[in-house]
A and B are shown apart, each in its own frame.
Chain A
Amino acid sequence: EPEVTQTPSHQVTQMGQEVILRCVPISNHLYFYWYRQILGQKVEFLVSFYNNEISEKSEIFDDQFSVERPDGSNFTLKIRSTKLEDSAMYFCASSGSIVNTGELFFGEGSRLTVL
C-alpha cells in the first residue's frame, strides 16, 4: 500500500543550526503538508503546498521556515536557524489524487531535538 516516507526519523542539532527534513509523498497525490507535534501537545498545522507553491501557512511558519519540492518526488521542510522551541515531531502528509477525497495520509514523523 502506498505510504508517505520521512527521513531522518530522528535528528539532534545545536541551536542556530540549519535542519532539512525530507518527505516522499504518495506518488499520485497533489497536496502536501507539514504538521508538527510538540511533546504532550496537539498536532499543529504548519504549511500546505499545491502546484509548486505555498497555499496556506500558519503563524508558526515564520521566515525561519521554508518548503520546497526540488524534484518530482521529494518535499522538504527547512528550518534555517533552529531554536530550542523547534524541538518537536514533524509530520509530512499528502492528499488529493484524481479522485480527491480530502483524506490526509501521514508519514511516521521526524523527531527534531534542538540542544
Chain B
Amino acid sequence: KQEVTQIPAALSVPEGENLVLNCSFTDSAIYNLQWFRQDPGKGLTSLLLIQSSQREQTSGRLNASLDKSSGRSTLYIAASQPGDSATYLCAGDFGNEKLTFGTGTRLTIIP
C-alpha cells in the first residue's frame, strides 16, 4: 500500500529563519510529487510539482527536492515570513491516477 508521511505534524519557527519540511513515501516508483499549501478552512494551493525525472524545483523562496531511492522529498522555505503560516501538504502520484496525501505539517512563523 502506498503511504505518504509528514513529520513533524507541527512546527514553529521565528520569522526570518530558513526551514525544511519533510515528506516520505513508501513506493519508490513515484510518478510525481506535489506540494500544497492549505490555509484554515480553505482549499489547496499548488506550490511545486516535481516530476520523477527531476531532483528539484524552485519557485521564489521555495525549493522542493525529490529523492526516489530514499523515498523522501523536502520543501525548503527561505527567509520565512508570518504569511507563510499554513499547513503544508505533500502528495504523491504513483501512476494510478490519484494523489496520495500526507497528513500535513502545520507551520507557524513567529513574528
Contact = CB atoms under 8 A, between A and B. Distances in A.
A111 B40 CA distance: 13
A106 B36 contact: yes
A106 B44 contact: yes
Interface stretch (A11-19, A41-49, A62-70): A41-49
18 contacts: A6-B43, A41-B103, A42-B101, A42-B104, A43-B89, A43-B101, A44-B101, A45-B100, A48-B98, A55-B97, A91-B44, A101-B51, A102-B32, A103-B34, A103-B46, A103-B49, A104-B46, A105-B46
Interface string B91-111: 101001111111110000000
A61 to B, nearest CB: 11
Interface residues of A, number: 25
Nearest to B102: A42
By size class, the interface of chain B is: 20 to 34
Interface string A17-33: 00000000000000101
B102 A104 contact: no
A105 B91 CA distance: 13
B49 A101 contact: yes
Contact of A107 (B32, B43, B97): B43
A45 to B, nearest CB: 4
A101 to B, nearest CB: 6
A111 B45 CA distance: 17
Contact of A56 (B32, B45, B96): B96
A101 B31 CA distance: 11
A45 B99 contact: yes
B1 interface: no
Interface in B23-46: 31-32, 34, 36, 41-46
Contacts of B51: 101-102
A109 B86 CA distance: 17
> Considering the complex of A and B, which 3 residue pairs feature the smallest CB-CB distances, nearest first?
A108-B43, A45-B98, A106-B44
Contacts of A6: 43
A91 B49 contact: no
